[in-house]
């Protein structure tokens, strides 16, 4: 309730600043008996890690996850959860604090410098402190375990991809793509042609010291009907909170989203039908897999809009702590576009929400 | 945590089905010493009430709020909160259950009939039961008290309006309008000309048995800088959850929203400056009043997209409980467009979130 | 989190003052499909109701529970839960506010008058307001539903009795007694002889304008092994909180309690053994059915100590709002001993805790 | 809500098993601007650490706390909180897992072996895993920070001592003692003579392979009136939960406790009076500093009963995983009496509760 905990039954709490000793977290509520693949957790972290392509900051975050508790070895050396909290940490190895001394008195526009000081009366100026997107690495660790839980319990799979960078968009509607397809290129767009254009755009913008945003689509498949808790903890409400808590997110759409608001009811409704084996499904999926706050068995589909990165290598107007107007130019190593690295973060947050509701649904019926 | 409670320090819990004896709720965490204007609470409820114009369902919900606790009379007969929970109820007077018997076996497309049964194994078929938007009346009561708290403590005011119905939109960007302007017409759009066109569109669509959606803008002014709790309970994250939990919402935007994702960083950043009296503010407000999850003192600006109402008076394909395909036609009295009545609901949810963070901010500093 | 909500998955929130319009609550998280016996709920309320014997206050609380939501009729007119929140209320019919006007400026010793004003800056002086034990009626309603859940799901039964009044105690160790035995006499002690002595003592004390306390034992049987959530939400920890939140409680013991602290480890340990059908159990039950925070399948046994009622008909020293010393004498109708009426309250709080952990245990394993 | 988180606004979450890589936790909600004395935190840990006297297990837990986040250096190198979560860890250095292999199939009587398996289907057999009292080291770290918060904000101080070991008790009623007095002897009893007798008793019992329990008194002074949240989060209710969640606790008393239940109301009530400077206080303190769930400004006084340690070096009856009866003898290094080391744990849990309510009280009034 103090702001750094998320979830009700599957519950993650995180700590850590960009340039402190380490970041980490505790994932509580993981059921016992879940086989854990550590490499899979690390591979999710690697997807988020900067410095892996020319599109991302050169900052070297080694980002090796260490797990401290909640998982033991079976006799065959495989790993299994015990039901107790999973504590984990990631060292901060490349914390060049000196890069940030010039920020001591200046507030970077559209960053959290000003607001953290307004709230707390002081701030850790090194790399944005707690407001740095570095904290999302902990979400990725928690989300990776949630993914393993979801697949083991219900075959649920979650996949996100970059749909649009600046004004370059894929021409097809949201759909589920395998990770092998998405990770084929460094921008994580499932269309190779569009990916090439996106990469070129990011390069061009980067060369002018500027940044771009765009949108990510995330799809969860095999979610059983019945997940979600009306009236406040509706599945889409919890997903919206989870996704809106990711740095730089400015918009969320479920299913048909804003374009659906231009339709008439007769155009928008998803008619029910039965498939060959008699299972109920819907002809269309404008509901995005959720009706009345509860999953209906169709794919869960969301779109997330990310603003352009705030740190630009251009002179900007700002003020200092004494409310004096001044100029500032971004330094350090920053991404010209966060979307490729945000893909695993989006998936992680969706996994944490679905994992929570997987468990919550167990109490719905006598 | 069981789904019908919202907020951490200012906390609302609601109950009630569309056709049960009554609906109601408990608002806990209201500080003591707050003067309460009951008429103002009732007037918010009246704004949400159906049957007040030709745009809304003819269902007569009298919707008189009764307050049972948490408020006492001063010696001058004025009302004041005691710090104990405010219990309240609203009778269900016009519950014509017979209207819904035909739904016993059928699932209405894009309603919650199917998903409630998937979750609970049974459902209250009368008027949608708990999934009915009738439950939002309780949110309006809680939000009305939160508004009084916000104004008394910090002069915060919240105002929402209908920005777009179907494809008819106001031509100006989001801004704060006084309620007197907004409530001047039955569609709650602050532009009289556009309002007239919206009303005509709703009438036209209604006459064909169809429905439309659109978008609502909500603006909160005078929110001090410093509200919001990173990293998960960011102000925009809690707002997104609050708004996405309203029935029929499919999209949420903060500040620049999706259109901001088409800008470059140099175009999107909000430069800091000082005003005549030396107070820091920003030249633009693409952040929508929130940076890094914390309010920055600018207006908080959100856009909410509502899908068209699911109940249409046209034949649709669906299935029954035995998974047999069948046809269904909507009966009863339903709104062709929910947006005018959703305005006070949107305001209420924003007020509940801001009221919660007003109190949470009191613990930020030693 | 604002103080009037209890439980995680089975969650009760209550409202109401002694002399307001009504008291009530919301029980959220009740699973769907539970058959509900309303008469059984009312009968629990009747056990708590004052005015039923010469031992209790003559205040007439009719205490008829009304249920507003969350329960529907089956075709055979039987009642069943829908999984949505159960809202309920109890009218305050006999609220003689005038009795309390003399308290406007005085703080009754060992009551909550002084502390409520210290906390909130004002208080509802009528009958103690929210601090009145009247609010426990709502706990009894919630607990009665929890009991029905526990029995339907796991055959769990909970029974409390008065073990001691003042210094008159039953001579046997804690054990499970049927309600029919306990309710045979007005003091709710399962030993007729001791009950007679207790009644006489209460009468004697009442005649001098004084009051007495004592202890209650509560036993839950058929609780399966595995309930409880280490390390903070241990079953005994949640039970201790639940019971210590009842007005007038000053002490809690689990199993062997304080007398167990006088034993050596070799005397206190509960040796495991198997019964005839091979089921593991323990030779003794000094653990009180809980080990390491988790139920072990034995009877759960607790003792609760209640102080004497604070309202006495004798002159006492106190101060007024202006911190002036003064004298006060209790007026109105009050119990000389709360224990008989506290029996159903104790059972209710235990039921709410166990019902919560019944549901929480469902998420323990993959 | 998954069991390893405690508190609402000041919130601790812990992880870690006795023989895993490390234990640790996250303290969220610490206000910004609090000066932190790391040595003071470490000194609390040292008080809990085993191997420091002949009364405790020889197990060497070095127990050096590392703090990872939430605290930065001022320009003068002093430390200050930032308002972000404080992550911390303690390495497990002396984890001799081999000691526990004999427990693979056996359930130690009155330990949590059986119940963890009943709950989770498996368990970490090394040293009790999560059920080990080793986890309490994390509570001590969190509590040490809470103490610094409480003193800085309100001069609150908390002090516990061993009142009784087995049947050897101090002859005086609960009172506040300075730590310097309490820590003068290894049993942490403020009476030297009684302490000597306690130490002798523990030695004698240890020599027979047996163990003893006893009671601890804890007193908090300078707690302002007004802390505590009726009706469920009463101050004594939250304290009872906090203390009952400590391993081996079987009983809790507030103020007069069970002995108070033998008094009449006229004997038990705490009369109000004013002191020389006109401040209201009470003649006696049978309420233990709490009335109606809210602190009244007097000393908060609690007694906690600890059962004898379960691990004894004597043969006991038990069963194995196959429900076969067998014999077991305790091995390894264990305390013959936990009370001296439990003193800082008790203080920590009281500090966490009071720190939480310090913050919660800030929202009580407009």
- B168-219 pLDDT per residue, tens: 999 999 999 999 999 999 999 999 999 999 999 999 999 999 999 999 999 9
pLDDT in tens, B110-169: 999 999 999 999 999 888 899 999 999 999 999 999 999 999 999 999 999 999 999 999
Tell me, yes or no, if D5 comes closer than 8 A to chain A by beta carbon. Answer: yes
Subunits with 3+ C-beta pairs closer than 8 A to B: A, C, D
Between CA C11 and CA B355 the distance in angstroms is 23
- Mean pLDDT computed over D327-343: 89
Between CA C362 and CA D129 the distance in angstroms is 22
Question: Under a CB-based contact definition with an 8 Å cutoff, are residues C254 and D251 in contact?
Answer: yes
The minimal CB distance from B16 to the residues C4, C24, C69 is found for C69
**Exposure letters A196-229 (e unless 16+ CB within 10 A, then b):** ebbbebbeebbeebbbbbbbbbbbbeebbbbbbb
pLDDT in tens, A79-113: 999 999 999 999 998 655 565 677 777 899 999 99
% of chain A with per-residue pLDDT over 90: 87
Which A residues, 20 through 49, put their C-beta within 8 Å of a C-beta on chain B? none
The structure's pTM equals 0.97
For the sheet with C5-6, list strands across it.
C5-6, C11-15, C22-28, C86-91, C65-67
- Residue B130's alpha-carbon distances to B108, B230, B247, C77, in angstroms, are 15, 32, 11, 20
pLDDT in tens, C297-309: 999 999 999 999 9
Domain A2-364 - what CATH class? alpha beta
Are residues A89 and D86, on separate chains, in Cβ contact within 8 Å? no
Residues of C in contact with A360 (CB under 8 A): 9
Structure tokens at C219: 């036993």
Specify the pLDDT at position C140.
Answer: 98
The minimum CA-CA distance between C295 and chain D, rounded to whole Å, is 7
- Mean pLDDT computed over D263-272: 97
Subunits with 3+ C-beta pairs closer than 8 A to D: A, B, C
The minimal CB distance from C131 to the residues D230, D239, D286 is found for D230
CA atoms within 13 A on the CB side of A19: 17
Question: Residue holding tokens 């089905």?
Answer: B17
The minimal CB distance from B83 to the residues C16, C23, C119 is found for C119
The minimum CA-CA distance between A350 and chain C, rounded to whole Å, is 19
Specify the pLDDT at position D126.
Answer: 86
Which pLDDT band holds residue D60 (cuts at 50, 70, 90)? low
Are residues B15 and C86, on separate chains, in Cβ contact within 8 Å? yes
Between CA C294 and CA C229 the distance in angstroms is 7
Which residues are registered as beta bridge partners of D221? D157
Does residue C94 register a pLDDT over 70? Answer: no
Specify the pLDDT at position C128.
Answer: 87
> Could you give the 3-state DSSP secondary structure of residue D295?
strand
Residues of B in contact with C3 (CB under 8 A): 28-29
Structure tokens at C215: 């202890």
The minimum CA-CA distance between A77 and chain C, rounded to whole Å, is 19
Which C residues, 89 through 118, put their C-beta within 8 Å of a C-beta on chain D? 107, 109-112, 114-116, 118
List the Cα angle C136/B91/B18 in 5-degree steps.
100
DSSP C248: T
Are residues A307 and B5, on separate chains, in Cβ contact within 8 Å? no
* D52 CB burial (10 A radius; 0-12, 13-18, 19+): middle
Which C residues, 161 through 180, put their C-beta within 8 Å of a C-beta on chain D? 164, 166-167
Closest CA to D81 of D285, D366, D355, D357: D355
Between CA C1 and CA B26 the distance in angstroms is 13
D118 contacts: CB under 8 Å, gap ≥ 6: C224, C225, C226, C294, C295, C296, C297
Among C6, C32, C35, C85, which would you mutate to test the B interface (most chain B Cβ atoms within 10 Å of its Cβ)? C85
> Could you give the 3-state DSSP secondary structure of residue C157?
strand
* A10, closest residue in chain C (CA to CA): C363
Are residues D307 and C256, on separate chains, in Cβ contact within 8 Å? yes
Which pLDDT band holds residue A75 (cuts at 50, 70, 90)? confident
B348 contacts: CB under 8 Å, gap ≥ 6: B44, B136, B139, B140, B142, B143, B144, B146, B147
Between CA A30 and CA A36 the distance in angstroms is 11
DSSP A307: P
The minimal CB distance from C121 to the residues B28, B29, B33 is found for B33
Which pLDDT band holds residue D103 (cuts at 50, 70, 90)? confident
According to the 3-state scheme, what is the secondary structure of B233-291?
A: ECHHHHHHHHHHCCCCEEEEEECCHHHHCCCEHHHHCCCEEECCCCCEEECCCCCCCEE
Closest CA to B83 of C23, D362, D290: D362
Chain mean position to CA D354: 13
- Mean pLDDT computed over B222-235: 98
Handedness of CA C187, C193, C194, C200 (dihedral sign): positive
- Mean pLDDT computed over D150-175: 98
User: Of D60 and B295, which is predicted with more confidence?
Assistant: B295
Between CA D71 and CA C119 the distance in angstroms is 31
- Mean pLDDT is lowest, of A215-224, B61-70, B148-157, for B61-70
Does residue B331 register a pLDDT over 80? Answer: no
The minimal CB distance from A266 to the residues B236, B291, B314 is found for B314
Radius of gyration of chain D measured on its C-alpha atoms: 21
DSSP string, D344-360: HHHHHHHHHHHHHHHHH
Residues of C in contact with A365 (CB under 8 A): 31-33, 83
Tell me, yes or no, if A78 comes closer than 8 A to chain D by beta carbon. Answer: no
Between CA A341 and CA A333 the distance in angstroms is 15
- Mean pLDDT computed over D212-225: 98
Tell me, yes or no, if A264 comes closer than 8 A to chain B by beta carbon. Answer: yes
Which A residues, 214 through 253, put their C-beta within 8 Å of a C-beta on chain C? 230
- Identify whether D365 is preceded by a cis peptide bond (ω within 30 of 0): no
Strand runs labelled E in A78-210: 79-81, 86-91, 157-165, 168-169
- Mean pLDDT is lowest, of A255-259, A270-274, B66-70, D99-103, for D99-103
Which B residues, 276 through 315, put their C-beta within 8 Å of a C-beta on chain D? none
User: Of C62 and C207, which is predicted with more confidence?
Assistant: C207
Specify the pLDDT at position A54.
Answer: 72
Between CA B12 and CA C193 the distance in angstroms is 49
Between CA D128 and CA C294 the distance in angstroms is 14
pLDDT in tens, D347-358: 999 999 999 999
**Helix%, strand%, coil% for chain B, nearest 5:** 30, 25, 45
Structure tokens at B19: 């056709």
> Domain residue spans in chain A?
2-364
* D125, closest residue in chain A (CA to CA): A72
Does residue B57 register a pLDDT over 70? Answer: no
Specify the pLDDT at position B39.
Answer: 97
Which residues are registered as beta bridge partners of D25? D14, D88
Strands C11-15 and C65-67, bridge-based pairing: unpaired
How many beta-carbon pairs under 8 angstroms link A with C? 51
Specify the pLDDT at position A59.
Answer: 58
Residues of A in contact with C28 (CB under 8 A): none
């Amino acid at each position: 309730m103090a702001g750094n905990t998320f979830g009700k039954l599957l519950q993650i709490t995180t700590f850590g600043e960009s340039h402190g000793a380490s970041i980490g977290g505790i994932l509580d509520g993981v059921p016992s008996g879940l086989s854990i693949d550590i490499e899979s957790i690390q591979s999710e972290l690697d997807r988020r890690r900067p410095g892996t392509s020319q599109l991302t900051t050169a900052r070297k975050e080694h980002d090796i996850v260490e797990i401290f508790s909640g998982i033991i070895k079976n006799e065959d050396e495989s790993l299994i959860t015990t039901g107790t909290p999973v504590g984990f940490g990631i060292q901060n190895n490349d914390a060049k604090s000196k890069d940030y001394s010039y920020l001591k008195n200046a507030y970077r526009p559209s960053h959290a410098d000003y607001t953290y000081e307004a709230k707390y009366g002081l701030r850790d100026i090194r790399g944005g402190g707690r407001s740095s997107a570095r904290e999302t690495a902990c979400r990725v660790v928690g989300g990776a375990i949630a993914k393993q839980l979801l697949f083991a319990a219900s075959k649920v799979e979650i996949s996100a991809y970059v749909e649009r960078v600046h004004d370059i968009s894929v021409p097809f509607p949201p759909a589920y793509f395998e990770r092998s397809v998405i990770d084929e290129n460094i921008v994580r767009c499932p269309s190779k042609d569009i990916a090439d254009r996106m990469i070129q755009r990011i390069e061009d913008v980067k060369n002018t010291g500027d940044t771009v945003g765009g949108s990510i689509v995330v799809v969860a498949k095999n979610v059983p009907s019945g997940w979600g808790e009306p009236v406040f903890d509706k599945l889409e409400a919890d997903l919206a909170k989870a996704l809106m808590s990711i740095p730089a997110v400015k918009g969320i759409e479920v299913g048909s989203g804003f374009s659906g608001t231009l339709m008439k009811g007769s155009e928008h409704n998803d008619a029910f039908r039965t498939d060959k084996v008699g299972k109920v499904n819907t002809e269309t999926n404008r509901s995005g897999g959720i009706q009345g706050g509860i999953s209906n068995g169709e794919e869960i589909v969301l779109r997330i809009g990310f603003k352009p990165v705030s740190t630009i290598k251009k002179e900007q107007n700002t003020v200092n702590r004494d409310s004096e107007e001044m100029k500032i130019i971004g330094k350090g190593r920053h991404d010209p576009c966060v979307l490729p690295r945000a893909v695993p973060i989006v998936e992680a947050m969706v996994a944490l929400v679905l994992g929570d509701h997987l468990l919550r649904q167990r109490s719905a019926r006598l």
